Amino acid sequence: MARRNTRSSNGSPDGPAAPRNRTPQPLPARRRSAGDFVKAFLAFVALAVLLVGVPGALAYFVGWPLPDGAPSLDWLQQEVTVGTFVNVLTVVVWLAWAQFTACVLVEVKAALSGVGMPGRVPGAGPSQVLARQLVAALLLIGATAAGFAPGLSQFGQSPEGNQQPAAAAAQRTPGLFAPEQRGAAAAADAVADQAARAADRAGTARDGDTKFYRIQPPEGRHHDSLWEIAERHLGDGRRYKEIYQLNKDREQPDGSRLSEASLIRPGWIMEMPADAHGGELVEMPDEAPKVPEKVREQISDYAKTGDAHRGGGARQGGDRKSDDRKGGGSVDRDTAHITLPEQRPGSGEERDGGRGDGQGHGRGDGRGSGEPAAPAAPERGTEAASDGFSFGLPEALVGAPLLAAGLLGALGRRRRHALWQSAMGAVGGRRCMEPPTPTGTAADAQDALLVGADPEGVRLLDRALRGLAAALTAESRALPTVYAAWLSNGDLHLQLAQPAGRPPAPWQLGQDQTFWMLTRADAEAYEDVDAAAPYPGLVCLGTMDDSRLLLNLEAVPGIVSLSGAAADRAAVFASVAAELATNGWSDRMTITLVGFGRDLTPLAPNRLRHLEDVEALIETMTAETRQRRGALGAAGHDSVLTGRTGPARHTRWAPHLVLLAAGPTADEAADLAELAADASRLGIGYLVGTDSGELPGAAWEMEITADGRLLAPLLGLQLAAQQLPDALQQAVVELFTAADPDGGDGDDDSTGGAAAPPFLVDVSEQGRPAVYARLVGTYEIIGLETPDGERSPLMHEALALLLLHREGVHPRVLASALWPRGVTEDVRDALVDRVRAWLGSDQDGTPRLRADASGRLTLAPSVVCDLDVLRSLYHEATQGRGAANRAVRGRLLTDALVLVRGPLLADRPQGRYGWLTHEIVDARLPLLVADIGLALSEFHLEKGRAEQAIEALTAARASAPADERLWNELLRATHATGDQDRLRALAADLVARSGARGLPPRTEALLDELLPAWRDGLTAVG
Question: What is the pLDDT, as a whole number, of residue 970?
Answer: 93
Confidence of residue 407 (pLDDT cuts 50, 70, 90): very high
Q: Which of 228-237, 250-259, 622-631 has the highest mean pLDDT?
A: 622-631
Report the pLDDT value the prediction gives residue 112, as an integer from 0 to 100.
Answer: 64
Residue 548's pLDDT band, with cuts at 50, 70 and 90, is: very high
Q: What is the pLDDT of residues 477-534, one digit of tens each?
A: 888 999 999 998 889 999 998 888 999 999 999 888 889 999 998 988 888 888 888 9
pLDDT band at 865 (very low <50, low <70, confident <90, very high): very high
pLDDT tens-digit profile of 967-1012?
Answer: 999 999 999 999 988 998 898 888 888 877 888 888 989 998 998 8
Per-residue model confidence (pLDDT) at position 361: 36
- Asked if residue 912 has pLDDT above 80, the reply is yes
Q: Which is more confidently placed, 561 or 37?
A: 561
Is the overall model pTM greater than 0.85, yes or no?
no
For residue 747, give the 3-state DSSP assignment: coil
Confidence tier at 78 by pLDDT (50, 70, 90):
low
Residue 297 reports pLDDT greater than 50: yes
> For residues 843 and 753, which has the higher predicted lDDT (pLDDT)?
843
pLDDT at 746 over 90: no
> Among the listed ranges 600-614, 691-705, 793-807, which one has the minimum average pLDDT value?
691-705
Q: 3-class SS at 541? A: strand
Q: Are strands 698-704 and 559-564 parallel, antiparallel or unpaired?
A: parallel
Is 50 exceeded by the pLDDT of residue 858?
yes
**Tens digit of pLDDT for each residue in 263-282?**
677 888 888 888 888 767 76
Distance in angstroms (rounded) separating the CA atoms of residues 395 and 448: 7
Amino acid 165: pLDDT: 36
pLDDT at residue number 644: 72
Contact call for residues 397 and 535 (beta carbons, < 8 A): no
> How high is the mean pLDDT of the chain?
76
What is the dihedral angle through the alpha carbons of 53, 58, 60, 65, rounded to the nearest 10 degrees?
Answer: -160
Q: Which helix (H) or strand (E) holds 74?
A: helix 73-76
- Whether 190 has a pLDDT exceeding 70, the answer reads no
Lowest-pLDDT choice from 429-433, 535-539, 727-731, 924-928: 429-433
Would you give the end-to-end CA distance of the chain in angstroms?
Answer: 75
Question: In this predicted structure, what is the pLDDT of residue 69?
Answer: 62
pLDDT at position 54 is 83
Least confident stretch, 136-150, 311-325, 503-517, 833-847: 311-325
- Decide which of 23 and 33 is more confident: 33
Count other Cβ atoms within 10 Å, centred on residue 658: 25
Mean pLDDT of 433-443: 79
CA distance 536 to 547: 20
Pairwise pLDDT comparison (940 vs 762), residue with the higher score: 940
SS3 198: helix
CB 930 within 8 A of CB 832: no
Checking if the pLDDT of 638 tops 80, the result is no
pLDDT at 71: 63
Beta strands in 730-856 (DSSP E): 771-774, 780-782, 849-851
Rounded-to-integer distance, Cα 825 and Cα 383, Å: 9
**More reliable by pLDDT, 254 or 75:** 254
Choose the weakest-confidence range: 17-21, 256-260, 608-612, 749-753: 17-21
Distance CA 993, CA 538 (A): 39
pLDDT value at 744 more than 50 = no
In order, the DSSP letters of 63-83 are ---S-SS---HHHHTSPP-HH
Most confident of 49-58, 221-230, 387-396, 453-462: 453-462
Q: What pLDDT is attached to residue 914?
A: 87
Alpha-carbon distance 552 to 580, whole Å? 11
Cβ-contact 421, 741 below 8 angstroms: yes
Out of 599-608, 637-646, 697-706, 710-719, least confident range = 637-646
Overall average pLDDT of the 684-706 stretch: 88
pLDDT at 709: 92
For the sheet with 780-782, list strands across it: 780-782, 771-774, 863-865
Does residue 800 surpass a pLDDT of 60? yes
Kind plus residue range of the DSSP H or E element containing 676: helix 666-676
Which of 88-92, 261-265, 715-719 is predicted with the least confidence, judged by mean pLDDT? Answer: 261-265
- Would you say residue 135 has pLDDT above 50? yes
Task: Give the containing element (helix H, strand E) for 47.
Answer: helix 34-48
Mean pLDDT in residue range 412-418? 87
Spatial contact of 769 and 865, defined as CB atoms under 8 Å apart: no
Confidence at residue 633, expressed as pLDDT on a 0 to 100 scale: 79
Confidence tier at 363 by pLDDT (50, 70, 90): very low
pLDDT band at 733 (very low <50, low <70, confident <90, very high): very high
pLDDT of 941 reads: 93
What pLDDT is recorded for position 728? Answer: 93
Report the distance separating Cα 40 and Cα 29, nearest Å.
Answer: 18
What is the per-residue pLDDT for 425? 64
Res 209: pLDDT: 59
**925 or 78, higher pLDDT:** 925
Say which residue, 52 or 703, is predicted with more confidence.
Answer: 703
Q: Among 270-274, 535-539, 656-660, which is the least confidently predicted range?
A: 270-274
Element (H, E) at 311: helix 306-324
Q: What DSSP element (H or E) covers 896?
A: helix 886-899
DSSP 13: S
Cβ atoms of 562 and 572 closer than 8 Å: yes
By three-state DSSP, how is residue 665 classified?
coil
Amino acid occupying residue 345: P
- Say if CB 164 and CB 233 are below 8 A apart: no
Task: State percent of the chain over pLDDT 70.
Answer: 72
Helix (H, G, I), strand (E, B) or coil at 617: helix
DSSP 437: B
Q: Per mean pLDDT, which range of 207-221, 350-364, 530-544, 648-662 is the poorest?
A: 350-364
pLDDT score recorded for residue 173: 30
Q: How confident is the model at residue 537 (pLDDT cuts 50, 70, 90)?
A: very high
Among residues 529, 533, 655, 543, the alpha carbon closest in space to that of 589 is found at 655
Alpha carbon distance 941, 947 (integer Å): 9
Are 369 and 355 a contacting pair, CB within 8 Å? no
> In terms of pLDDT, which residue wins out, 20 or 795?
795
pLDDT score of 162:
35
3-state secondary structure of 436: coil
